[in-house]
Amino acid sequence: MLPHCFFLLLLCTVQLPSPSSALPFEQKGFWDFALDSMDAEMTMEMMRDPEEGSADDLFPHEIPTCPFGCQCHLRVVQCSDLGLTEVPTNIPRDTKFLDLQSNRITEIKENDFKGLTNLYGLSLRNNLISKVHPRAFVPLKHMQKLYFSKNFLTTIPKNLPASLVEIRIHENRIRKVPAGAFAGLNNMNCIEMGANPIQNSGFEPGAFKGLKLNFLRISEARLTGVPKDLPESLHELHLDHNQIQAVELEDLSRYKNLYRLGLGFNHIRNIENGSLSYLHMLRELHLDNNRLTRVPQGLPDMKYLQVVYLHSNNISQVGVNDFCPRGFGMKRTFYNGISLFSNPVNYWEVQPAAFRCVSDRFAIQFGNYKK
């Protein structure tokens, strides 16, 4: 039976859930991959679409085959957990989804995907891959999703399909992203590249040139500052679990379209006054598990900010105007979550008016501070 599909955790709009840093994508089963960003019914309908024709219509002289040990059904070829050391042959040419995760494949060769022009998604997650032929993905003219996490890659694979929308290369050995690494990928929407030993200097100028990303995660890396020159189009930027020590004035000036910013689990002691003023559209801000001694300045001016994670810092006091604007009608939305627990601030010393623009008293979390 195919594994169940996982869905991303949705933010509670009334009571703030137990705050935690946003976790990297974990693909437990192939259907997580196949249906992650597509409606399930639409996907199944696409697979059954009579206008696309059957395998017999496309290749009348070929007998449908399935690689030994794999399962083939509705244009999905599942070959996970088989101990494979290379990409199998005899993959049906009308395959839409190919699952090769959790094997022992060490190399992707030039002709491994020859003829798979209809492939929409490919999972190579959790293998031993350290080498990818520069022309391996050339036949995949329509591929949109590539999952390459948990391998031994040291560089971004070359000549990725121009149709690619999403790539996940979490937990590899990538130290450098050269200029033009994603050239020509005008449809790219999501890049997950956390848990790679990459430093700020590893991003060459122009590394993300031309991309119009909505989502970028570089968590669990070796960053000491907010990277420069990331795509201006970003809606979500996750930089959790790094070594960032401060947010300077111009660090966030490019990212005016951000809805969610993750800076939790860093070493941040200071957020320069005015550095948050560029984030006009921000809804959610993660600054938990840092070394802040005060609530960052500028929060009252963020009209759409709804959730702020500030737990597990060194904040000792909360001012009456730290979160809410002084005048009426300035803030467009009420907060529905503020976490301040595990800070050396006594909740009974905080004036109730400090949270006058919070939607509900249950949306505020205090207490549990341990020296």
Q: For residue 65, what are the CA distances in angstroms to 115, 171, 342?
A: 14, 34, 59
Which amino acid belongs to residue 18? S
3-state helix, strand, coil in the chain (%, to 5): 10, 15, 75
pLDDT of residue 64: 65
| pTM beyond 0.85, yes or no | no
Q: For residue 85, what are the CA distances in angstroms to 101, 103, 237?
A: 11, 7, 35
β-strand pairing of 76-78 with 71-73: antiparallel
Q: Which residues of the chain have pLDDT under 50?
A: 1-15, 17-21, 25, 27-61
pLDDT of residue 330: 74
Give the Cα separation of 336 and 146 in Å (integer).
36
**CB 211, CB 182: distance < 8 Å:** yes
Q: Which residues of 312-335 are buried (b: 16+ CB within 10 A; e: fewer)?
A: bbebeebeeebbbbeeeeebeeeb
pLDDT of residue 24: 54
Quote the tokens at residue 333: 């939305």
Give the Cα separation of 143 and 150 in Å (integer).
20
**CB 80, CB 98: distance < 8 Å:** no
pLDDT of residue 327: 75
Give the Cα separation of 277 and 297 in Å (integer).
9
pLDDT of residue 49: 42
Report the phi/psi class of residue 145: left, alpha or beta, with left for phi > 0 and alpha for psi in -120 to 50. beta
pLDDT of residue 1: 41
Quote the tokens at residue 35: 């249906």
In the block, which residue shows the tokens 């030994």?
A: 68
Give the Cα separation of 272 and 285 in Å (integer).
15
pLDDT of residue 31: 46
Furthest C-alpha separation in the chain: 80
Give the Cα separation of 96 and 134 in Å (integer).
22
